[in-house]
Chain A
Amino acid sequence: GESVGLHLPTLSVQEGDNSIINCAYSNSASDYFIWYKQESGKGPQFIIDIRSNMDKRQGQRVTVLLNKTVKHLSLQIAATQPGDSAVYFCAETGGGTYKYIFGTGTRLKVLA
């Protein structure tokens, strides 16, 4: 498949361990944040979102944390599985801009 990004930061974790992927967002006016997963040759797949009136949201095996003070997002994946191997992007939007600003992405490699 096609490479999403040639020089992405890479996080390598053992299967079964927890993963934490971090993202610094740029616009203090952003009020909606999303994490996407992109596998080789595919479009980004929605994982979880959070609005600025929350600081934590949980999904199935995933948790997103939002720290507005330092403009930081994190995605926690519990019990990481081989199928979690992909590139993960954070995105922000808000202020009536009608667009997402994407982070540079992090490649997650799950080691057997």
Chain B
Amino acid sequence: KAGVTQTPRYLIKTRGQQVTLSCSPISGHRSVSWYQQTPGQGLQFLFEYFSETQRNKGNFPGRFSGRQFSNSRSEMNVSTLELGDSALYLCASSFTGPANEQFFGPGTRLTVL
């Protein structure tokens, strides 16, 4: 069974640009969560989707947005990139939500110059 896949694995952008990251969950999983990981802040929750509905959102500015498609694949978008957005962005999937085993992808490493 394939694991959670994230594309691209690495991205370099400049300030002011926007970026879209993609996540394909494990087959059968309908919940997808996104996290930002930085050395200073650790793992911070961004948002969680289930059946195309956002059920929770973390304390991030509106520049961070996401969506989920009918096949459970998810994307997150960051607009007007800032230097501080440089981070590892992790996607995790589970059958019904974080209250069950949640499996993480390898992450997308975003560098903002």
Residues of A at the B interface (CB closer than 8 Å) are 2-7, 31-32, 34, 36, 41-46, 49, 89, 91, 93-94, 97-105
Mask of B96-112 contacts with A, CB within 8 angstroms, 1/0 = 01110111111101000
Contact A42 B101 (CB under 8 A): no
Is B84 on the interface with A (CB-CB < 8 A)? Answer: no
> Whole-angstrom distance between the alpha carbons of A31 and B97 in the complex?
14
Interface residue stretch chosen among B12-20, B35-43, B74-82:
B35-43
> Whole-angstrom distance between the alpha carbons of A60 and B97 in the complex?
25
Q: Which residue of the partner chain, among A6, A42, A102, contacts B39 with CB atoms under 8 Å? A: A6
Contact B55 A98 (CB under 8 A): yes
Contact B45 A89 (CB under 8 A): no
Contact A43 B98 (CB under 8 A): no
Contact A100 B45 (CB under 8 A): yes
Interface centre among B50, B58, B97 (most CB of A within 10 A): B97
Is B56 on the interface with A (CB-CB < 8 A)? Answer: yes
Contact-residue bracket for chain B: 20 to 34
Contact A99 B45 (CB under 8 A): yes
Minimal beta-carbon separation of A87 from chain B (angstroms): 10
Residues of B at the A interface (CB closer than 8 Å) are 4, 31, 33, 35, 37, 39-40, 42-45, 48, 50, 55-56, 58, 88, 90, 92, 97-99, 101-107, 109
Contact B98 A100 (CB under 8 A): yes
Minimal beta-carbon separation of A60 from chain B (angstroms): 16
> Which residues on the B side are within 8 Å of A4 (C-beta)?
37, 39
> Which residues on the B side are within 8 Å of A32 (C-beta)?
98-99
> Whole-angstrom distance between the alpha carbons of A105 and B90 in the complex?
16
Contact A2 B109 (CB under 8 A): yes
Q: What are 22 A-to-B residue pairs whose CB atoms are below 8 Å? A: A6-B39, A6-B40, A7-B39, A43-B107, A45-B104, A46-B101, A46-B102, A46-B103, A91-B43, A97-B56, A98-B33, A98-B48, A98-B50, A98-B97, A98-B98, A99-B33, A99-B98, A100-B45, A100-B102, A101-B45, A103-B42, A105-B42
